[in-house]
Amino acid sequence: MRTARSGAVQIHIDAPAERVWSLIADLERMGEWSPECYRVAWEDGASSPATPGARFRGWNRYGRMQWSVACQVKTAVQGKELSWSTLVRGREMTTWTYRIEPSDGGVELTESFCVHWLPLSARIAEDFLMKDRDRRREQAMRQTLERIRTLAEGQAGS
């Protein structure tokens, strides 16, 4: 069974866009809130997503499976949007996007993904090893956003 090739989850956060941005733009903290991506490290001298094209490596786990993937920042619009693509052999695999939109005194934060291409090994893993991938990915995305919300709202007054 083929898993979804795109999806999005949204959450309201009672915090200013700048506070939410400062959290999501600190990609090295991704392991604090993502149940799948447990580590991020900048490469090639980069230290932030401030420049589109900056590269980093992300380490992921799903059950007993673990892997790492090269990533490249696509968009970095302070207070509005951060996106990056995962790359395999230089080819764009999946784009992940965080979009921040003002709403009711806070923001709506949306996490989304769009799969462009998967190598055979990833298709086999998703089809045969990653049971219930769609439901678990959506749960992980919701958990990620909930943890970001907790951090952002907990910084009120700081």
Residue 72: inside a domain: yes
Answer yes or no: is pLDDT of 18 > 50: yes
Cβ pair 13, 109 in contact under 8 A: yes
Number of domains in the chain: 1
Residue 70: inside a domain: yes
State residue 64's pLDDT score: 82
The model's pLDDT over 22-77, given as tens digits with 9 standing for 90+, comes to: 999 999 999 999 999 999 999 999 999 988 899 999 999 888 889 899 999 999 99
Residue 1: inside a domain: no
Residue 147: inside a domain: yes
Answer yes or no: is pLDDT of 16 > 90: yes
First to last CA, the chain: 47
State residue 75's pLDDT score: 96
pLDDT band at 127 (very low <50, low <70, confident <90, very high): low
pTM of the model: 0.89
State residue 137's pLDDT score: 80
Burial of 109 (0-12, 13-18, 19+ CB in 10 A): buried
Say how far apart CA 34 and CA 125 lie, in whole Å. 20
Provide the token pair at 106.
């806070």
Residue 137: inside a domain: yes
The parent domain of residue 65 ranges over 6-154
- Higher pLDDT pick, 83 / 135: 83
Question: What crossing angle do the helices spanning 133-154 and 17-24 adopt, rounded to 10°?
Answer: 120
The domain spanning residue 92 has which CATH number? 3.30.530.20
Share of the chain above pLDDT 90, in %: 70
Answer yes or no: is pLDDT of 124 > 50: yes
Chain position carrying tokens 């700081």: 158
State residue 5's pLDDT score: 80
